[in-house]
Structure 1
Amino acid sequence: MRCSSFSPANKRTLNLQETVTTADNWAGRFWARTGCRFDGNGIGPCDTGDCGNKLQCAGAGGVPPVSLAEFTLNGYGGVDYYDLSLVDGFNVPVQVIPLTKSVDPNNKYGCGSATCTAYLNNNCPNELRETNSAGATVGCKSACLAFNTDQYCCRGNFGTPQTCTPSTWSQNYPAYFKNNCPGAYSYAYDDVSSTYTCQDSGYKIIFG
């Protein structure tokens, strides 16, 4: 498994346990690729998170479904914003752990650990399953990715927090993700229970 970063200025593959330093106003995302089959020239596909059949993504984003760790450093109010997003689906468990000791005991979103440790592929609804060429389930799509409707994608007439309410859908697909990973985004407007903030901290990102 390799971890990949995506930002306007830095789009490359990270080695296992690699530490990277960024500008204090960096914004971007990290994801994991699985089932990659690269040749000696770094060319080949991945089952999930593929970025153009190349080892080095060179500007391409990961093809969903992928579990995302997202960051906006030194954002509004001079604080860091971070979250886990399953809006486009899930491929592997993911955690973001701040390295600061200044955790707010009264606010789990204040320098708290964002975690999604459940393996959602096992019980993923059949209609959301992403399978590889061997027929094995390698990811769990979001309803938006699977069906691409305005309602499931929170767009058009459903493009506001007031009109995009999964509890009113004929099938509340985001509930599967939220029940298993309460601290992760399960759909586009899941901000209240999914956004973490911290300040002057480093972060440890764990996939798998």
Structure 2
Amino acid sequence: MPAQVVASHHLLIVDDDALILAFVASVLTCAGYHVTQADSGETALSLALENPPDLALLDVAMPGMSGIELARRLQEETTTPVMFLSAHGEIDIVKDATALGAVGYLVKPVEATQIVPAVEAALARAEDIKRLRRTEANLTTALAAGRETSMAVGLLMTRFQTDRETAFEVLRDFARSRRRKINEVADELLKAEETLNAFRSAFLEHARSR
């Protein structure tokens, strides 16, 4: 049995083989993980939706909902990363499952000494992916904010017949004086211009109808 490790991660283990399920759960519980067990894909999905785990260990071949289908559902309905428990003949299937976001796999028969290192590696991989997604989300937000600011600067340049540098400085100083983020002020300016244009169109339409 592996030595105790400092671990507070919540793991969901899914296998229709009661002996393998109990064995893997015992190893990981002794290692300090919080473990939830399920003997079917349907039960596992219900448990994951109720209390999403940090990592799900899925048997590939199970009656009813297979591990591959369960992984697909977990990707669609939760953010749970998955790794697979597979027999030798299922390795090609598991490799194909990387497209579903699998972060690792263990080959049966599983040795006790292999389980914790594989789980730790999978958790680390999952954290790397999560960090990358956060970075991408932040970059997307920053790019959107940059577009709003650029459009607002262009609007000020046109409206007040000034150069880009002056327009940006005025926008920045205006935001600072109100302790606001420049992209928030830029967004409000663009929305105000859009509203003003809508009123202009309404007045023109009203004048034509008279």
Under TM normalisation by the shorter chain, which class is it?
Answer: under 0.3
Larger CA Rg, structure 1 vs 2: 2
Structure of higher RCO (CA pairs closer than 8 Å, 6+ residues apart)? 1
Task: Please give the TM-score of this superposition, normalised by the length of structure 2.
Answer: 0.24
